[in-house]
């Protein structure tokens, strides 16, 4: 138990659906992150929020839309996804965006797009 | 972030020490060396980090070469629960996130 929870743990959706992934951290951190982990590929950073402000968007397609209403919650809104978007989506948090802060990861949401 | 090179896989016997190498020949003077691991069906977890001096914590030790162009993560007594993918990551000071490579898949044999 890392203090970072993600829901749902598994999600199957069609290409025309709209769904949202939720991440919550109970650690009092100020930075939150979304990563994508596809099969046989390294983890890819998607978005970074620091004190609720988006500080990094790693050229992510607009069909992925993040939202950070407060420092404890992070959402990833999904719409019109493609089958190649099927992956494990991981959320992480850290005290802030400073270099030596360790990141705490959630268990991930396994997404399958049909 | 500077790149790191790790072996794709390693194997260890249970109860024996494991030395996981990482090469980072283009490291800059201010880059920190971080290690994370990812157990099966879980998100990555922090293991240890250092800058110049060797570091120890309850999980592992980190030995950093004098020229900082390589480092070694040491698990003193491997257990079956240590079977995971281990990532060596360099992190530049500032508001920079982690950049993961392919890591080393460690198998532990009972």
Tens digit of each residue's pLDDT (9 = 90 or more) over A53-74: 998 888 999 999 999 999 999 9
Per-residue confidence (pLDDT) for residue A58, from 0 to 100: 86
Q: Is A85 helix (H, G, I), strand (E, B) or coil?
A: helix
- Is residue A27 within 8 angstroms of chain B, CB to CB? no
- pLDDT mean across residues, chain B: 93
Question: Which of A90, A99, A103 has the highest number of chain B CBs within 10 A, making it the mutation to test binding with B?
Answer: A99
Choice between A56 and A113, residue whose per-residue pLDDT is larger: A113
| Chain A residues with CB-CB distance to B99 below 8 A | 45
What is the predicted pLDDT for the residue at A101? Answer: 75
Instruction: Give me the pLDDT at residue B45, please.
Output: 95
pLDDT at B71 over 70: yes
The pLDDT assigned to B19 comes to 98
A86-112 average pLDDT score: 88
For B40, which residue in chain A has the nearest alpha carbon? A107
Distance (Å, rounded) from C-alpha B20 to C-alpha B10?
8
Confidence tier at B2 by pLDDT (50, 70, 90):
low
pLDDT at B80: 96
HSE-up of A41 (CA within 13 Å, CB side)?
14
Question: Which one is predicted more confidently, A95 or B7?
Answer: B7
Look at A39-48, A94-103, B10-19, B95-104 and tell me which has the smallest mean pLDDT: A94-103
Task: Note whether B71 and B22 are within 8 A (CB).
Answer: yes
Beta bridge partners of B73: B20, B62
Task: State the burial class of residue A76 (Cβ atoms within 10 Å of its Cβ: 0-12, 13-18, 19+).
Answer: buried
| Average pLDDT rounded to a whole number, residues A11-37 | 94
Minimum-distance CB partner of B98 among A2, A103, A107: A103
| CA dihedral sign of residues B5, B7, B8, B14 | negative
Between A12 and B3, residue with greater pLDDT: A12
Phi, psi of A102 (to 5 degrees): -75, 150
Strand-strand pairing, B84-91 and B104-109:
antiparallel
CA of A13 to nearest chain B CA: how many angstroms apart?
A: 21
Q: Is the predicted pLDDT of residue A36 greater than 80, yes or no? A: yes
Mean pLDDT in residue range B85-109? 88
In this complex, do B100 and A92 lie within 8 Å of one another by their Cβ atoms? no
- Please report which confidence band the pLDDT of residue B97 belongs to, taking 50, 70 and 90 as the band edges: confident
DSSP per position, A28-55 = --SEEEEEEE-TTS--EEEEEEETTEEE
Residue A98 binned pLDDT confidence (cut-offs 50, 70, 90): low
Please state the φ and ψ torsions of residue B41, each to the nearest 5 degrees. 60, 25
Q: Cα separations (Å) of A113 from A16, A58, A88, B32, B56? A: 10, 21, 12, 37, 43
Compute chain A's Rg from CA coordinates: 13
Q: How far is it, in rounded angstroms, from Cα A6 to Cα A98?
A: 23
| Disruptive mutation site among B2, B3, B35, B97 for chain A (greatest number of A CBs within 10 Å) | B97
């Amino acid at each position: 138990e890392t203090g970072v929870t993600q829901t749902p743990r598994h999600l199957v959706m069609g290409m025309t659906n709209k769904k949202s992934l939720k991440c919550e951290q109970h650690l009092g951190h100020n930075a939150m992150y979304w990563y994508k982990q596809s099969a046989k590929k390294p983890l890819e950073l998607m978005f970074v929020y620091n004190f609720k402000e988006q500080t990094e968007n790693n050229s992510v397609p607009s069909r992925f839309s993040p939202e950070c209403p407060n420092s404890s919650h992070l959402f990833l809104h999904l719409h019109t996804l493609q089958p190649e978007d099927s992956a494990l989506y991981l959320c992480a948090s850290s005290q802030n965006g400073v270099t030596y802060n360790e990141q705490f990861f959630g268990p991930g949401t396994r997404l399958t797009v049909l | 972030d500077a790149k790191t090179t790790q072996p794709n896989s390693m194997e260890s016997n249970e109860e024996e020490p494991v030395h996981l190498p990482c090469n980072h020949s283009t490291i800059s003077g201010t880059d920190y060396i971080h290690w994370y691991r990812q157990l099966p069906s879980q998100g990555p977890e922090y293991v240890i980090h250092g800058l110049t001096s060797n570091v120890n914590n309850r999980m592992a030790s980190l030995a950093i070469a004098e020229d900082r162009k390589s480092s070694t993560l040491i698990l003193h007594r491997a257990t079956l629960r240590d079977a995971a993918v281990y990532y060596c990551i360099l992190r530049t000071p500032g508001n920079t996130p982690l950049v993961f490579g392919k890591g080393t898949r460690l198998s532990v044999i009972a």
